[in-house]
Structure 1
């Protein structure tokens, strides 16, 4: 049965977050009686209350629009296409950010890991992959975990694969995204690739440097490179498209990787 009422949707989000009606009421400056009435359909929440509850439940922006529609209100947040003129300044800013990060790899993905933009550092890592994986739209998870993608080049694939799948599981738990769930089912079903051949000219081992985060250890033209990943999102976005963007930067985890990238540049 499809859930359509705002009360049922709010109850679903509350149960997903694992909090009681009393706790939600305290967070939203309301009463558990009113929350109960909203969830059972005995009371229609105001537009302000819908948005307040959505905020306290950390509901993704796309789903906040769905809550408003279910309550009989107009969507509050625009969903502007990435190529729209209104986002020209954003696109230009992202391009400048990615270019400024070179020679280190950096890319921008949307809520389903479709690559919106990437710099030359990423292009270097993707060099030599089959055309069918490089055909647009590029998908970062598919490129990384596909047995004909980057997976055979990743020396700590079991750890990195586990990290990426756990990251997707957390996102699926936070948002009702069928495309994201379908992507997860696809990439988690990829067969494990054979172990990569030893690097032909290995760089200085990353183990010589203190480990600050799980590194991505990937081979490139016989050199073993080591990166740590950082992901940034926009603060207080007011557009669904912008809210779902994430900037991932790969920082060299050892001096030899940084030296190699600068030499390539």
Structure 2
């Protein structure tokens, strides 16, 4: 049976903090932190949340801490398609539409695609249909040989970036499914020699071979900074921008001659699994 003290100790060690570091951050004594971790003191719900805040524990795991301490969970986990999340859905749809003709998608904590705009479909034309069965996983889609990997011209650089992202996410959340995803695509592979793809001044691009042309994209990641709902906190918006004028022109031309750009979500949305 897990205890709140054991869980807090695990998070403290994951953050590489001493008991004194945590005590100073939470404005309590080091002895108190020791008593909580060893189960000799029962923290209040407010104290559990204070310590969790100092440790930057995700909302899902804060609920777990509260339950282990004998309290009710504080943070709700609403379904994204539920009636009380309509404002969130509208905001996400606006973001995706506004980003066209450039691709953008929204993923959950395990990299499953929740929503995507229509330009994303242009890149999925030759993907194995098995990878498009719900839930569609962005990491698997990108690095499985049946997916986008053969068309990413600077695959070693892109793989290195995603290896680092998943490693940081695993350290932050401790999510075993992220660990499994990391093991599947990164853990047992030797780091690849980089091929010297010329970097931009500001970011490493993702370069696709697309219809006998090169499309170079840079990405940004957006999250909800004030989320008080588990589902909302775990969503991230991956937005891609052309890295050069030629790529921008290709994407604009696709939008003009393609289909479906007036919709907020692409066919990926129709295949999505639960958030």
| Structure 2 residues without counterparts, runs of 5 or longer | 191-196, 256-275
User: What pairs with 1:1-265 in structure 2 (closer than 5 Å)?
Assistant: 4-188=2-186, 210-265=200-255
Paired with 1:81 and 1:184, the residues of 2 have a C-alpha distance of 26
Paired with 1:41 and 1:185, the residues of 2 have a C-alpha distance of 34
| Structure 1 residues without counterparts, runs of 5 or longer | 193-205
Using the TM superposition, give the Cα deviation of residue 176 of structure 1 relative to its aligned residue in structure 2, in angstroms. Answer: 2.1
Using the TM superposition, give the Cα deviation of residue 16 of structure 1 relative to its aligned residue in structure 2, in angstroms. Answer: 0.8
Secondary structure at the residue paired with 1:250? strand
1:154-212 Cα distance to aligned partner (Å, 9 max, x none): 000011011111110111111121121122222337989xxxxxxxxxxxxx95x9431
RMSD: 1.7
CA spacing shift, 1:55–1:165, aligned 2, 3 Å = same
1:41-94 Cα distance to aligned partner (Å, 9 max, x none): 111001111000000001111100000000001000001112211112211221
Secondary structure at the residue paired with 1:187? helix
Misfit runs of 4+, over 4 Å: 189-192
Corresponding residue number in structure 2 for 1:203 = none
Normalising by structure 2, what TM-score? 0.87
Paired with 1:210 and 1:34, the residues of 2 have a C-alpha distance of 50
Paired residues of 1:115 and 1:138 also in contact (CA < 8 A): yes
